[in-house]
Amino acid sequence: MHILIILSEVSKIEGIDGMIRDTGYWLEEFALPYKFFSDKDIKITVATLTGKDPVPDPASTEIDSVGVCKNWENPDLFEYGIQLHQKLISEQRIISLKNLDEKTLKSFDGVFIPGGYAPMVDLVKSEVLGEILWYFHRNSLPTALFCHGPIALLSTQFTEGGFAYKGYRTTAFSSEEELDTELGPYLNIDVQEALSLAGMQYQKGDKWTSFLTKDRELITGQNTQSTIEVMFCFFKELRDEFI
């Protein structure tokens, strides 16, 4: 099995107040699934839109005064996450989505997109990503996104085929959860609202608890707390392809 993990490559986001803030992909949402899939002997290719090195959101690498990671659900794997990021960068293993043609895409059995605020800057409006998601959609291949990651589904609106997921059930970081965060009230986009306006059937669970939706090939999770549930569901769908 071979999967494609897509990360945002931006490190800044502008708020409605005009201020620019640091952001990036959420390290835990990438590192935990990466380790899980690697331990299952699944081949993993990591990509950004242009092959530029991704940057972890500073809040996902923040430690307290005694050196303990502050914002991870599974802090025991924090050092693994840091080392994984450094290894991918030092070994230049990040590829460009622009280099993936139809023939290359046939080598992948599924696509996985973690969150962080960064996808709301570049992935949301990328025609290149939109065409890639259309490939997985057309071929009914497992497609998993969670937290702020589902905003990337809107990229299909910029393709000739138009929005691929109209009518699909989905979840993502909720408006209620956003108001609990430091940056959320200043964002230009609300993920829950944007997906609903695009024609998806948004669903949610309780704040800050794991919640997952599955509709056809699409698997979405509400928040960081959903990471493990999403990766297990994605893995099950990958296995079912080979049964």
Q: Measure the CA–CA gap between 143 and 214, rounded to whole angstroms.
A: 10
Question: Exposed, middle or buried, 85 (CB in 10 Å: 0-12/13-18/19+)?
Answer: buried
Residue 91 phi, psi (nearest 5): -90, 5
What sign does the dihedral 72-13-83-6 (CA atoms) show?
positive
pTM metric for this prediction = 0.96
CA 80 to chain centroid:
19
CATH label of the domain that carries residue 213: 3.40.50.880
DSSP state of 188: S
120-162 residue pLDDT tens: 999 999 999 999 999 999 999 999 999 999 999 999 999 999 9
45-100 residue pLDDT tens: 999 999 999 999 999 999 887 777 889 999 999 999 999 999 999 999 999 999 99
Count of domains forming the chain: 1
| Number of other CB atoms surrounding residue 68 within 10 Å | 10
Which range marks the domain in which residue 63 is found?
2-241
